[in-house]
């Protein structure tokens, strides 16, 4: 039995200054960085997901609806796709990238950068049964990652003070939905 921390999409484009900034992105990134410093030893594994778009079709739009279509963000190998500078990348065991050619909100769609393995088998291969989830955006990728983690059978805690939403209202609704699906909100 092991526990993992999943850091969802804490990338520059989702933080103030980026192309699809969430208001609390930098603040949340700072909190996660400090949490890594103080709590990394509580986890058997720390992983991060990254939105990593090459040509995601209608996920990008010049006239985005901010629901199913978005301004260009997290283009592969650009500065905007890099992790926010507050994140301590040295303590991250593996990065999982998703969304190369399509929208991909869940980290469980992500493939490891150092081997051809999806997030769920990577975690299960390390006997992980419990995951703590933090990151961006509460109402999109944190939501989808949390719901998939529950479907995969993990015990899931969402550390809510370290999550940043696109819309505060939708973020609160998403947390409610995650709770109803079985996630523990901390």
Catalytic residue among 13, 31, 98, 163: 98
The full 3-state SS of 127-143, as one line of letters, equals: CEEEEEEEEECHHHHHH
Contact 98, 108 (CB under 8 A): no
109 is a site residue for ligand VGL (CB under 6 A): no
> How far apart are alpha carbons 63 and 13 in whole angstroms?
18
Stretch binding ligand VGL (CB under 6 A), from 85-93, 112-120, 134-142, 175-183: 134-142
24 is a site residue for ligand VGL (CB under 6 A): no
Contact 119, 145 (CB under 8 A): no
Task: Please say if 141 is a catalytic residue.
Answer: yes
13 is a site residue for ligand VGL (CB under 6 A): no
Out of 18, 46, 51, 164, name the contact with ligand VGL by CB under 6 A. Answer: 51
Which single residue is written with the structure tokens 């986890």? 43
User: Which pairing describes strands 45-51 and 94-98: parallel, antiparallel, or unpaired?
Assistant: parallel
Contact 146, 156 (CB under 8 A): yes
Out of 70, 96, 122, 154, name the contact with ligand VGL by CB under 6 A. Answer: 70
Q: Which of 68, 85 has the CB closer to ligand VGL?
A: 68
- Give the residue numbers marked as catalytic: 9, 98, 141
Q: Which residues bind ligand VGL (CB under 6 A)?
A: 9, 14, 51, 70, 136-137, 140-141
């Amino acid at each position: 039995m092991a526990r993992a921390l999943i850091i969802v999409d804490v990338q520059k484009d989702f933080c103030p200054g980026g192309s699809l900034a969430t208001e609390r992105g930098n603040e949340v990134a700072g909190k996660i960085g400090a949490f890594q410093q103080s709590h990394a030893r509580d986890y058997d594994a720390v992983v991060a997901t990254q939105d990593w778009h090459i040509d995601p079709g209608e996920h990008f739009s010049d006239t985005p609806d901010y629901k199913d279509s978005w301004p260009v963000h997290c283009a592969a190998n650009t500065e905007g796709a890099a992790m926010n500078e507050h994140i301590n990348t040295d303590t991250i065991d593996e990065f999982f990238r998703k969304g190369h050619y399509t929208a991909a909100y869940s980290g469980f769609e992500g493939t490891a950068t150092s081997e051809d393995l999806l997030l769920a088998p990577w975690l299960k291969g390390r006997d992980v049964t419990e995951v703590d989830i933090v990151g961006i955006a509460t109402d999109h990728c944190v939501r989808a990652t949390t719901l998939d983690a529950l479907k995969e059978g993990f015990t899931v805690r969402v550390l809510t003070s370290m999550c940043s939403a696109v819309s505060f209202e939708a973020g609160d609704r998403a947390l409610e939905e995650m709770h109803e699906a079985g996630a523990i909100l901390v």
